[in-house]
Amino acid sequence: MTGRIHSYESFGTVDGPGIRFVVFFQGCPMRCKYCHNPDTWNVHGGREVTAEEVTREALKYRSYFGERGGVTATGGEPMLQLAFLTELFTLLKKKGINTCLDTSAATFPADKDADTSAFDALLAVTDLVLLDIKHIDEEAHRSLTGMTGAHARAFAEYLSERGKPMWIRHVLVPGLTDDDEALYRLRAFIDTLKTVEKVEVLPYHTLGAAKYASLGIGYPLKGVRPPTSERIQNAKNILLKGGKA
């Protein structure tokens, strides 16, 4: 089976536990205003590879993984290529490699009665999920990403019900995702989940702005500055320490 990837990172330190070989998948249905990888949006971009080819490339760096490291699939949205992702993780698990999925769950069905058998197959070969919850408020989520936030919430509940470890990630953008009331609501949702091992606050940055210019795309957050240290700490106090009752 073949899939489309954008690139590799051979020594990732912020995409899961330990040292990670990071595979950036091509294609994403979301259009997040703060996205720093707009070059991964186009489903026809990147290059076509086989799961075996990616596995061979990852194994070159196995000696750096140690006890905690492994391979992380990110993007783009990896689950947009669900069958290819599952085959890749299956090959990696056969080699004893830890697998981590970094996702916004945009392709997971929000309908609780939907068939999730294909996702069950993926979970069987996934050790950890990094779930990016963009915004807990539905209207704000649509404005921020162009899509409903129901997919991410449904996926979080699905992971919790199946006992799959997850890290919750939240990108902190001044004026968009740093509202205290929304942060408390997000924490309240996290408290309903049984398998959250870690919550990460990721401060917004402007490092991807140059990519928009090179692609001829207007940068949606022009003029928005990264959050102050005080606002970052405030978000951490709410999301990491449990917030208010």
User: The CATH number of the domain where 66 resides is what?
Assistant: 3.20.20.70
Whether residue 171 has pLDDT greater than 50: yes
Contact assessment for residue 22 and residue 6, using Cβ atoms and an 8 Å cutoff: no
| Residue 245 resides in a domain | no
Residue 4 near residue 47, CB atoms below 8 Å: yes
Q: Return mean pLDDT, the chain.
A: 95
Total number of domains constituting the chain: 1
* pLDDT 10s digits, 28-73: 999 999 999 999 999 999 999 999 999 999 999 999 999 999 999 9
126 assigned to some structural domain: yes
Tens-place pLDDT, residues 206-240: 888 889 989 999 999 999 999 999 999 999 999 99
The pLDDT tens digits for 11-25 are 999 999 999 999 999
55, part of any domain: yes
Asked if residue 244 has pLDDT above 80, the reply is no
Q: Identify residue 96 by its one-letter amino acid code.
A: G
Q: 242 falls in which pLDDT band (50, 70, 90)? A: low
244 found inside a domain: no
Give the per-residue pLDDT at 137: 97
The domain of 109 spans: 2-239
